[in-house]
Amino acid sequence: MSRIIVGMSGGVDSAVAASILVDKGYEVEGIFMKNWEEESEFCSAEKDYKDALQVCDILGIKIHSINFAKEYWERVFEHFLEEYKNGRTPNPDILCNTEIKFKEFLHYAKDLGADVIATGHYARIYHNNHEVLLKKGSDLEKDQSYFLHGLNQHQISSAIFPIGDLEKFEIRKQAKKLGFNNYNKKDSVGICFIGERNIKEFLQTYIPSKTGNIVDQNGKILGEHDGIMYYTIGQRKGLGIGGGHTNQNGAWYVLKKDAINNVLIVGQGHDHPALYHKRLKASNPHWISGIAPKKHTLNAKIRYRSNDVPCNIIELGMDNIEVEFKDPCFAIAPGQSIVFYDKDICLGGAIIESYSN
């Protein structure tokens, strides 16, 4: 391994990743990917490119620029819209990694003569005999293994994560020391390559909204929603339900989305029993090793920011998986991914389809 091409986003993480590889004496080049055809306050590709260019100038490395907007639209964004149309809550960052960053970018880098690619992900890679393992990043607050669970052995073995053992404060400190303009740049959040948006306003651009009723579990109409796609299970804010509907105090939460009848079902209180479930069914299980784990008692995340929780795989097939949790989980959302861990090793995951008690 001597020639490494780094995905340069314009952010501080990929910048420091590149600097680490340069310091180690590798032949390093950068690639800046533009994957969304819009220049706005949300998606500042021009500013990001300038930041990436400044870093590469300081490091004395060449930078390439490539446009994958067509591939991103067809393989990531169209799926994202379809999921929202169906009343689900997708996670495009996962598909962005499998289809763009570790497929299109990887292929392009290989064509440029790269031995491996590198990114600024907070995760770690270990080689165990003939298997490559994906582990959580050392900074558990920033760990991104959840978003990488869809990768396969070829993709992981073709990549390295130079900052996986570092914490965020160390990275910013190093970037400032090196004179990178982006040393204090805000972390990228929101939709992969599109940026942090008001999801309601953004979706209205692509999907016609259809108002409908907000009801309680007995069918009593409490208000009107702006479009079922704008809400997610467990959501509290933005429901627009005033007081006086019951004798109870407590905020209202989305319990269920009935996409067929265009109805949003809500209940009062964070502890509402309809928000907690012990079982879920998921589709399209993917295992990083290529083989389903023999051990069925594992930990899992049902969304990126959730804690690992103990679970047991009670049914496992080629296309479906059923999981039971030790304790009921809050706000399981169809469309999101359940990702499995054996301690700090990320094993893979599946797309949540339904939940039950």
HEC letters along 155-213: HHHCEECCCCCCCHHHHHHHHHHHCCCCCCCCCCCCECCCECCCHHHHHHCCCCCCCEE
Residues acting as catalytic residues: 96, 192
SS3 332: coil
Tokens coding 273? 């029993």
313, 323 Cβ separation under 8 angstroms: yes
- Reduced to 3 states (helix: H, G, I; strand: E, B; else coil), residue 17 is helix
**Other Cβ atoms closer than 10 A to 350:** 25
Contact assessment for residue 132 and residue 157, using Cβ atoms and an 8 Å cutoff: yes
* Contact predicate 50/58, CB 8 Å: no
CA angle 284, 36, 29 (to 5 degrees): 90
From the list 9, 13, 6, the residue with the least C-alpha distance to 184 is 13
